[in-house]
Amino acid sequence: MSATSPVRPVLPPDIRARKGQAPLVVLTAYTTPVARLVDPHCDMALVGDSVGMVLHGMPSTLGVTMEMMILHGRAVVRGLSKAMPIIDMPFGSYEESPQQAYRNAARLMAETGAPCVKLEGGAHMAETIAFLTKRGVPVMAHIGLTPQSVNTLGGYKVVGREGEADAVMEDAIAVEAAGAFAVVLEKVPMGLAARITQRLEIPTIGIGAGVACDGQVLVVDDMLGLFTEFRPKFVKRYAELGALADAAIAEYAAEVRARTFPAEEHAFPDVLKGKQS
Ligand code: KIV
């Protein structure tokens, strides 16, 4: 499947129709090899703007560009044959106007082959979501903690406790009414996430929002133990690949220094015997 074959086996209406069925499984992916690992097990693979922090060492997602999303989006789409790709709209590519959002969303879809985009924001983005969905751009919304607004939110905090709960519910209702096919709830208290999930007809995909959501998403490098800069409470580590990689690299370094690597079997003889190469 490539940017020239846009019809994929799973499309946003199929995901929307999964409401009330088995939980939707989502992981991020930023490269072809990881997309290939994720593909058989997940319903969707999110090319998140978290790529900036996870793969490029950025301090936040704010520096992620359209070019980065296109490059990683293409790589992920190439690695997926079953799971539906979703591509994040980076900070500054959609907030100014529905027209700006449409231009950039259309470019992301055309140049990567992804059948939809994700953007952050609730009621204040409803007009843009409606503009996009009416023009052939399916939108996954993202409310609660919206990391691109870290500077106005004052940190990566839980959003929706006490006095904030009604506003988060209103955001959820607004993005659904605008035409979003699903909505990510990030760092929303679990009771509120359960009420939103009950209230909406579109699937909710939780990250730090409890088990009642219609699906779950995690950053793949977090759950594999590859991204260790910080560890949010909502991340469960299913593997410690970072520690495994560290041990393997240390062993390689020690063997190179001791001249025990490469061994004879990793080198090429000067004269071929039999069928060796
Ligand atoms: O960028 C990202 O990875 C995300 C998920 C955490 C939902 O938006």
How far is C-alpha 256 from the geometric centre of its chain's CA atoms?
A: 38
CA distance 208 to 272: 59
Please write the tens of the pLDDT for every residue from 144-156: 999 999 999 999 9
Burial 10-32, CB ≥16 within 10 A → b, else e: bebeebeebbeeeebbbbbbbbe
Please write the tens of the pLDDT for every residue from 23-44: 999 999 999 999 999 999 999 9
In the predicted model, is pLDDT for residue 184 greater than 70?
A: yes
Which pTM was predicted?
0.95
Average pLDDT over residues 171-186: 98
Strands 182-186 vs 139-144: parallel, antiparallel or unpaired: parallel
CA distance 19 to 97: 30
In the predicted model, is pLDDT for residue 266 greater than 80?
A: yes
Q: Which bin fits 162, alpha (ψ -120 to 50), beta or left (φ > 0)?
A: left
pLDDT value of position 7: 81
User: Dihedral of CA 87/92/97/103: which sign?
Assistant: negative
Average pLDDT over residues 80-106: 98
Q: Catalytic residue at 95?
A: no
166 near 121, Cβ under 8 Å? no
Closest residue to atom 5 of ligand 1, CA basis: 48
Average pLDDT over residues 6-19: 92
Ligand 1 centroid distance, CA of 28 (Å): 7
Catalytic residue among 67, 164, 186, 240: 186
In the predicted model, is pLDDT for residue 6 greater than 80?
A: no
Please write the tens of the pLDDT for every residue from 34-83: 999 999 999 999 999 999 999 999 999 999 999 999 999 999 999 999 99
Query: For domain 12-240, is the CATH number 2.40.37.10?
Result: no
Ligand 1 centroid distance, CA of 49 (Å): 6
In the predicted model, is pLDDT for residue 1 greater than 50?
A: no
In the predicted model, is pLDDT for residue 224 greater than 70?
A: yes
CA distance 169 to 193: 9
pLDDT value of position 251: 98
Identify the band that residue 2 occupies on the pLDDT scale cut at 50, 70 and 90: very low
Pocket of ligand 1 (CB under 6 A): 28, 46, 48-50, 88, 142, 184, 186, 207, 217, 219
